[in-house]
Amino acid sequence: NPSIDYIVRLDQVKVGSVNRMDSDDKFAGGKGINVSRVLKRLNIPNTATGFIGGFTGKFITDTLAEEEIETRFVQVAEDTRINVKIKADQETEINGTGPTVEPVQLEELKAILSSLTAEDTVVFAGSSAKNLGNVIYKDLISLTRQTGAQVVCDFEGQTLIDSLDYQPLLVKPNNHELGAIFGVKLESLDEIEKYARELLAKGAQNVIISMAGDGALLVTSEGAYFAKPIKGTVKNSVGAG
């Protein structure tokens, strides 16, 4: 479910009044595309896929072509969503729901996944199209695993839990999402590691828990590894997790 991330900057948002921005930017976005972009910068060959349509979809394909990111999108009739990120005294996001996906278009995506091999890895990330619901991820992950390909999952809640049935190579909730899954508030690294190991026990091969400015914790069957983040001024948190 790709998007255009439309970033608007102004000093303060006055609700109920006309607000004039200081500057703005538009980027091809969505979790999957952000992953493709990082992999490209690391010189790792990859293909971005998903559903796109309309003038907003064309903006995304054109932008990714300029970045030399390979794509294999499924075209739909409705416009790709726009996510508005307002950078003011507080950061506010207004995310679109995305286009409707018809059954024939879903089958086209399934055909792409069916062509994979055991040499491939698929990253499933973010929300799905509005009429499919996140339950569709379970079918797509099952189909992918039948080809022998590995899967990496960046979901939250029940969608993440459902993915564990297919032994994903990696899952990556943040610390708040991890706590919500188990109905607890996590306040220490030891607690985070404990519940990350619960995800291992349920099927994940590896778990990374991102903690924003506090770093990230990788938990595997062999050990736990903490990465301390670099310090700096946050310009934009989109895609940082």
pLDDT band per the 50, 70, 90 thresholds, residue 232: confident
In DSSP terms, 170 is beta-bridged to 152
Give the number of other CB atoms < 10 A from CB of residue 154: 24
Share of the chain above pLDDT 90, in %: 84
pLDDT at 28: 94
pLDDT band per the 50, 70, 90 thresholds, residue 123: very high
Give the number of other CB atoms < 10 A from CB of residue 241: 16
| 160 pLDDT more than 80 | yes
Phi, psi of 102 (to 5 degrees): -80, 155
Q: What is the pLDDT of residues 23-50, one digit of tens each?
A: 999 999 999 999 999 999 999 999 999 9
pLDDT at 37: 95
Q: Which own/partner contact pairs does 227-233 have at CB distance under 8 Å and 24+ positions apart?
A: none
What does the alpha-carbon distance between residue 134 and residue 131 come to, in Å, rounded to a whole number? Answer: 9
| 238 pLDDT more than 80 | no
Helices and strands (H and E) in the chain: how many? 7, 14
Domains with residue ranges and CATH for the chain: 1-9+23-98 (3.40.1190.30)
- What mean pLDDT, rounded, does the chain reach? 93
pLDDT at 231: 83
Mean pLDDT of 196-211: 97
pLDDT band per the 50, 70, 90 thresholds, residue 171: very high
| 176 pLDDT more than 90 | yes
